[in-house]
Structure formats: structure tokens, C-alpha cells
Amino acid sequence: MICIAELGMLVLGIVLLVLKRLKVSRDTELGPGATRLLGFTLMLPLILGQGGGFVYGFTVGLKKGAQTKGRPMTQADIESLKKEIEQPALIINVAATAGSALFALFVVVAGTRSIPPPEPPAPEDAGRAYWDPGQFGEDEKEKGIRPGGP
């Protein structure tokens, strides 16, 4: 079950790395840096949990192999090795997932910022150039030259 959560967090982390901003609510968002940090944080549980379990299992297996002094391992040895590895590997997975989720929550809380309200629409005549008859001399008036175009 924890692997499903880790895979879901991995996919969401990849999606967040691609996004520039994450809208948290109607008037708040995460900026680009916080969104990417959140994406990277959500990718960590799979790497740390499965990698930590692998490293732990590998070291325990090496120790067990050194204790056998070259003789082949029996089925009973393998079963005892599995029981010895299973619980700590699960604890490593849960710790990695919970730690990453708590750090992701911290990133969301710390990186959330309010979205500025939209600017009011400009009046309809904004941006138009008006011709002031007293602005130019008689020659410009005759040619129809005015600011903003002919």
C-alpha cells in the first residue's frame, strides 16, 4: 500500500516540476520556486524509501553471507533473513513517506502567496491619441499630422 502512495507522489512531483505555478485556492498560489521544490520533495519518498530498504537489505544480506562462511544458505536461513529485513524496511519506507509529506506541507504553507487582484479595465478611450489644434503650427494642421498617426 505504501508503494502506491509513493508512486502517486512521484507522478505528482513530476507534474509539479513541469508547472510554473500551482493555484492553491481562489486567491493564493505557489510561486515557481516553491512549486518546483514541492515537486522535488514529492519525488523523494520512492527514492529514499525503496533505496533505503535496498541498502538495508543488502547490508544485512552481506552480514548473513559472511556468517555462513561460504556454505550455501538453506531455505530456513532465507526465511529468517526475510523476517529480519521486512520490518525495518517497512519502517524506512513509512519514515521516508511521512517525512517527505510533512516537508511538502511546510513548503506549501511557507511558499503560498496571495494573488494580486486584477487591475480594473481601462476606459474605452485609453490609448487613443487626440489632436489638440493648438499643439501644431498651420502647416501640420493642413497636412493632417497629429500625435498617434496621420
CB atoms near residue 63 (< 10 Å): 11
> Which cell goes with 69?
562462511
Least confident of 7-16, 84-93, 137-146: 137-146
Of 21 and 55, the one with more pLDDT: 55
Axis-axis angle for helices 32-68, 2-18 (nearest 10)? 140
Categorize the per-residue pLDDT at 143 as very low, low, confident or very high, splitting at 50, 70 and 90: low
Question: What pLDDT score was predicted for residue 131?
Answer: 52
- Nearest-angstrom CA–CA distance, 107 and 100: 10
Pick the closest to residue 38 from 12, 2, 6 (CA basis).
12
Confidence (pLDDT) at 99? 92
Tell me the C-alpha distance between 149 and 135, whole Å.
Answer: 15
Sorting pLDDT into bands at 50, 70 and 90, what band is 72? confident
Residue identified by cell 536461513 is 77
Residue 50 class from Cβ within 10 Å (0-12 exposed, 13-18 middle, 19+ buried)? middle
pLDDT bin (cut points 50, 70, 90) of residue 70 is confident
Please state the pTM of the whole predicted model.
0.64
**Amino acid type, 71:** R
